[in-house]
Amino acid sequence: GAGVSQTPSNKVTEKGKYVELRCDPISGHTALYWYRQSLGQGPEFLIYFQGTGAADDSGLPNDRFFAVRPEGSVSTLKIQRTERGDSAVYLCASSPTRLAEGSSSYNEQFFGPGTRLTVL
């Protein structure tokens, strides 16, 4: 079946503009994650959705960043007043059913190819 898809694959914008990045998770996956991967770095956690709600948004760097998942499937990461430092690859991942609180299991996260954002 289809994996996680992200659009656009590349986005070039000017400083101060608003951008939206879209993620289509694997069908049936209830959990969705956004990560940011800067050049030469590993991905860094931004936000985690369980269904429609943001269960953990502690990784969002500031209030210019916002993400939604209104129907519990597709998610959009929104960045206002973009800055050059926002340039990075934004990765989306999804995983199947929710784990119980405190579970010792790990739900594999399946990553999309990412959106490369360049802020000029």
Shortest CB 15 distance to other proteins, Å: 26
Regarding 80 and contact with other proteins (CB under 8 A), the answer is: no
- State the distance between the two ends of the chain, measured CA to CA, in whole angstroms: 37
Q: Is 53 helix (H, G, I), strand (E, B) or coil?
A: strand
Smallest separation, CB 54 to other proteins (Å): 12
Q: Do 114 and 7 meet the contact criterion of CB atoms below 8 Å apart? A: no
- Shortest Cβ 26–other proteins spacing (Å): 12
> Which phi and psi (to 5°) does residue 112 adopt?
-85, 175
Q: Does 106 bind other proteins (CB under 8 A)?
A: yes
**Residue 21 has which token pair?**
């990045």
3-state SS assignment for residue 84: helix
Q: How many residues bind other proteins (CB under 8 A)?
A: 30
Binder of other proteins out of 2, 63, 70, 103 (CB under 8 A): 103
Report DSSP letters for 93-114, one per residue: EEESSPPPTT-S---PPEE---
For residue 79, the minimal CB distance to other proteins (Å) is: 19
Question: Segment near other proteins (CB under 8 A), from 62-70, 71-79, 80-88, 100-108?
Answer: 100-108
The answer to whether 1 contacts other proteins (rule: CB under 8 A) is no
- Give the separation between CA 73 and CA 70, rounded to whole angstroms: 8
Footprint on this chain of other proteins (rule: CB under 8 A): 4, 31, 33, 35, 40-45, 48, 56, 59, 91, 93, 95, 99, 101-109, 111-114
